[in-house]
Amino acid sequence: MWKPGLAAAIIIGLLFTASSQAQPAKQPEPRGLTNADVVKMVQAGLSEALIIAAIRQAPRTTFEVGPEALVQLKAAGVSEAILTVMLNPAASAMPSPPGGAPPAGIPASMDPNDPLGAHPPGIYVDLGETASNLVALEPTVFSQGKSGGMFASAMTFGLAKAKWKAIVRGARAQLRTTLQQPTFYFYFEKKGSGLSSTGEFGGWLAEASSPNEFVLVQMYAKSDRRELVVGEFNVFGSSTGTRSEDTVPLKIEKLAPGTYRVTPTEALGRGEFCFFYAAGAATFGAGTLGKLFDFGVDPPGMPK
C-alpha cells in the first residue's frame, strides 16, 4: 500500500543526493605569502618595486608584523617601503587611480607611488607614463681615475688645459627609462638639513638641502666606463664644476618641506646621465672618491 509520507521521504532523499553530486569539491585555500617569501625575494636581488607588486597581487598573505618580526625583516635587508606594504597589504592591494593618488580612505603615506607620501631620503624617478611609479636612484661610486689633456699640457709647459674627470665603472647605468623628460623627486631627511645627514650617501653630501645644489649632466660612455668632466686646470690656475655644454637645465618645484619635484626643461637624448652634487667638485683631486646618482635614457624609436 502506497504511503504519502514514505514517498515524500524518498523524493527528499533523491533531491539531497542530486544536490550533493552537483556541488564541486571545495578547492584548498592557497598558501599565503609569508615573511620568508619576502626575504627570499629580497636576497634574490629582485627590485623593491617588483616585490611590492608581488605583495599587492598575492591572493592571500600571512605576514607576521609584530615589533620583533619587523626588526628581523629589517636586519634581513627588507626596505621600509616593503615593510609599509606588509603592514597593510589589503589596503595596498587596491589599485591607485590615474595620476598616482591613493585610493579613498588610504593615507598618502601608505602609497609608495604617491609623490607626497613618506619616502626614505634620496632621489626618485617616476617611470610611469599614465600613473606614478617611483623608483629610487641608487648612489653610484665614482673615482678620479685619470686627467685628460695631460700630454698637451706638458708639451705647452702648462698653458693648455688638463681636465679632472669623474670615472664610473660600466658603460651603462642599471636604471633606465624611455622617457625623454622624466620627472624626479628629491626627498631630504631633514626639512632644512641634508639629503641624508646619516652619511649614507657620503660625507660631502650630508650638507645638501635643496635640488639647487645638484646639477643634471650627461656622461660620456666608453667601452667599460662613463666619464664626467668636473674641473680644468693649467699653469694659470684651476676651475671646478661641470661644463655648461654637459649640463641640462632644470625646473624645480617645492611640493612640501623637504620634498621637491625636478624636471628637465628640454628633452634628453639617448645616453647616460647623472645628478652630481655641485659642491663635491670643489674638493676634487687625486684619490677622490664620491657618489653620484646615475640613470640611462633609451627613447623608443631613436637610433642607438
Of 103-107, 184-188, 274-278, 289-293, which gets the smallest average pLDDT?
A: 103-107
270 assigned to some structural domain: yes
Q: Please report, for residues 91, 161, 174, the alpha-carbon distance to residue 136 in angstroms, rounded to integers and kept in the order given.
A: 23, 37, 12
109 assigned to some structural domain: no
Tell me whether residue 49 is exposed, middle or buried, using C-beta atoms within 10 angstroms of its C-beta: 0 to 12, 13 to 18, 19 or more.
Answer: middle
Spatial distance between the Cα atoms of 132 and 115, rounded to a whole number of angstroms: 8
Residue 95: pLDDT band (50, 70, 90) is: very low
35 assigned to some structural domain: no
Question: 254: domain range?
Answer: 115-297
8 assigned to some structural domain: no
Residue 89: pLDDT band (50, 70, 90) is: confident
Our count of domains for the chain comes to: 1
Could you report the per-residue pLDDT of 244-265, keeping only the tens digit for each? Answer: 889 999 999 999 888 999 999 9
Checking if the pLDDT of 176 tops 70, the result is yes
Spatial distance between the Cα atoms of 72 and 81, rounded to a whole number of angstroms: 15
- The whole-number pLDDT of residue 164 equals 77
54 assigned to some structural domain: no
213 assigned to some structural domain: yes
Checking if the pLDDT of 110 tops 70, the result is no
